[in-house]
Amino acid sequence: MSDLNRTELAQTILDTMSNVAVIADCTLIDTITDETVLLQSGLDSLGFAMLVAQLEEDLGIDPFSEMQLAVYPRTFGEFTALYASALEG
């Protein structure tokens, strides 16, 4: 899956967020950009847990479990960058 470029990865995460929002009965905001604060995206904490689990299944990585020091992304751009970094190894 490391063949994804940054744009494709961001779209994969957005698609997964949309699917999770339906399952978690959340409503995402209309437009999510790199500057969107994750807590304002519309997903609740359960939704984010489901998002991370689904991305681990789809991408084969969980960057949060691999961290030496816990860092939580504040924006969608930071979230995507975290996954991009983990995919690069």
pLDDT digits (tens, 9 = 90+) for 27-58: 999 999 999 999 999 999 999 999 999 999 99
Query: What pTM was computed for the model?
Result: 0.90
User: What's the CA gap between 87 and 85, in Å, rounded?
Assistant: 5
User: What's the CA gap between 74 and 12, in Å, rounded?
Assistant: 19
Higher pLDDT among residues 66 and 51, named by residue: 51
Mean pLDDT of 46-71: 92
The sign of the torsion formed by the CA atoms of 84, 80, 56, 1 equals: negative
User: What's the CA gap between 74 and 2, in Å, rounded?
Assistant: 23
